[in-house]
């Protein structure tokens, strides 16, 4: 299976969505279906037939030729069992990503599946650990135990895969001491990467409904801020560098796929609810496959979301050059390294020296950013803690004067 020579794209990242789980977590509002047994087998077979056809169509069009990172997310991709390595193998038939991640839940990542993923070309797994306290895991509807999570980390490492652990703070019943125990247990397990997220209650989720009746279940924002700061202290002390607002990695193990999102690189999303982002010329070259019309005049960037299983329905958003640059500034401020002089110069050209200067001066005055010696504008610790204020200042440059 070979892509057509001469039809190459600058798209560097590929995301594939698997909308299945064995059970929905109490906080989850993602597009996923809780299925087991024969019902899961039948739904997964139908879905993957359409997904693989899309991968082949994009590959045949040359759209995957330059993909450097791929990410299979969900849902819980590991509930696919042996189908998941087959999907990884099909992706690698069209491109040679240096990083290929599969999301996994501990209870559905067996030693055999971990080995098969490594054999098929996956390089990394992202494990939804969330907590290493059994009571906290039960409160949010997770199927695994703390022991099961640690065993899954060990299985993935034994298979030769890079391992990332997701942790959540602000869970029902969580305390400062229980958070410290989770951090200590995660560090001791030796993952290559750790992501730390504050719990948010999304409208319509079971946990949100429970919190309406019992306000004690509402996340304590002060505790969450403390947990985020404590995670930074403990993880840095253990040798993990904070390279993004929620992400820590051992040297050389940053998630290159997520960095592509935060630095404005083009990416393709395949599967129900998968999002993609392309430059206007890239969109025009692939619009026939993405169900859309041309980008149109004055459009620099197109964002899209696939809204069905068969890729017949897409939601499309068109961004002007000014909006695209403001978006790059906003996302760049998630990164510890911030944004460089070149992006700031493009922002001044698009939004005007006065507007950019005012936004930067405001961020400096509030202590949200500082100038680095190499000319980069980087978030401070205060800017990390008050990220929404900083992101709002940067996105404000998208508006017309």
pTM over 0.75: yes
Residue 139: pLDDT band with limits 50, 70, 90: very high
What pLDDT shows up at residue 9? 58
Is residue 116 in some structural domain?
Answer: yes
Same structural domain for residues 225 and 349? Answer: no
Residues 25 and 174 in one domain: yes
Domain assignment present for 3: no
pLDDT of the residue at 24: 87
| pLDDT value at 369 more than 50 | yes
Whether 93 is covered by a domain: the verdict is yes
Same domain, 304 and 374: no
Alpha carbons 314 and 171: distance in angstroms, whole number: 35
Per-residue pLDDT tens for 85-100?
999 999 999 999 999 9
Provide DSSP, 260-309. Answer: HHHTT--EEEESTT-EEEEEHHHHHHHTTTTT-----TT--EEEEEE-SS
Determine, yes or no, domain membership for 380: yes
299 and 164 in a common domain: no
Range from 20-29, 214-223, 263-272, 284-293 that averages highest in pLDDT:
263-272
One domain for residues 177 and 112:
yes
Residues 91 and 177 in one domain: yes
Same domain, 142 and 157: yes
Same domain, 124 and 207: yes
Q: Assess whether pLDDT exceeds 80 at residue 80.
A: yes
Smallest CA-to-CA distance from 93 within 134, 112, 129, 121 is with: 121
Same domain, 112 and 178: yes
User: Bigger pLDDT: 27 or 359?
Assistant: 359
- Distances from the Cα of 15 to the Cα of 55, 88, 270, 271, 340, angstroms: 11, 12, 6, 8, 26
Asked if residue 267 belongs to a domain, the reply is no
> What phi and psi values does residue 48 have, to the nearest 5 degrees?
-70, -30
Residue 269 lies in a domain: no
Residues 55 and 183 in one domain: yes
| Res. 4 pLDDT band, cuts 50 70 90 | very low
The reply to whether 266 falls in a domain is no
Q: How many separate domains does the chain show?
A: 3
Asked if the structure places residue 347 within a domain, the reply is yes
Q: Domain of residue 311: give its range.
A: 274-319
Within this chain, do residues 281 and 348 fall inside the same structural domain, yes or no?
Answer: no
CATH number at residue 112: 3.20.20.70
367 and 310 together in one domain: no
């Amino acid at each position: 299976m070979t892509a057509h020579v001469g039809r190459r794209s600058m798209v560097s990242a590929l995301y594939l969505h698997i909308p299945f789980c064995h059970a929905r977590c109490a906080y989850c509002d993602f597009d996923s279906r809780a299925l087991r047994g024969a019902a899961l087998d039948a739904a997964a077979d139908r879905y993957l037939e359409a997904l693989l056809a899309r991968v082949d169509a994009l590959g045949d069009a040359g759209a995957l030729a330059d993909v450097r990172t791929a990410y299979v997310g969900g849902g819980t991709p590991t509930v696919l069992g042996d189908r998941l390595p087959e999907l990884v193998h099909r992706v690698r038939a069209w491109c040679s990503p240096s990083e290929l991640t599969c999301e996994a839940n501990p209870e559905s990542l067996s030693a055999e599946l971990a080995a098969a993923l490594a054999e098929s070309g996956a390089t990394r797994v992202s494990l939804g650990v969330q907590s290493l306290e059994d009571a906290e895991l039960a409160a949010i509807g997770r199927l695994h135990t703390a022991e099961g999570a640690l065993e899954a980390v060990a299985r993935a490492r034994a298979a030769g895969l890079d391992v990332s652990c997701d942790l959540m703070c602000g869970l029902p019943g969580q305390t400062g001491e229980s958070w410290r125990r989770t951090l200590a247990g995660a560090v001791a397990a030796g993952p290559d990467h750790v992501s730390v997220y504050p719990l948010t209650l999304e409208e319509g989720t079971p946990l949100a409904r429970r919190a309406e009746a019992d306000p004690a279940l509402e996340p304590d924002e002060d505790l969450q801020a403390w947990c985020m700061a404590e995670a930074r202290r403990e993880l840095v002390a253990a040798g993990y560098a904070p390279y993004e607002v929620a992400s820590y990695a051992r040297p050389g193990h940053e998630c290159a796929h997520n960095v592509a999102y935060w630095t404005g690189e083009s990416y393709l999303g395949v599967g129900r609810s998968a999002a993609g982002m392309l430059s206007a010329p890239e969109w025009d070259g692939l619009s026939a496959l993405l169900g859309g019309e041309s980008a149109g005049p004055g459009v620099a960037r197109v964002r899209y979301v696939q809204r069905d299983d068969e890729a017949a329905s897409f939601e499309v958003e068109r961004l002007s050059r000014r909006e695209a640059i403001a978006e790059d500034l906003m996302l760049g401020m998630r990164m510890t390294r911030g944004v460089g002089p070149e992006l700031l110069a493009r922002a001044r050209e698009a939004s005007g020296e006065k507007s950019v200067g005012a936004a930067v001066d405001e961020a400096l005055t509030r202590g949200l950013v500082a100038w680095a010696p190499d000319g980069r504008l980087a978030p401070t610790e205060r800017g990390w803690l008050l990220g929404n204020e900083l992101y709002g200042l940067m996105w404000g440059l998208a508006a017309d004067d």
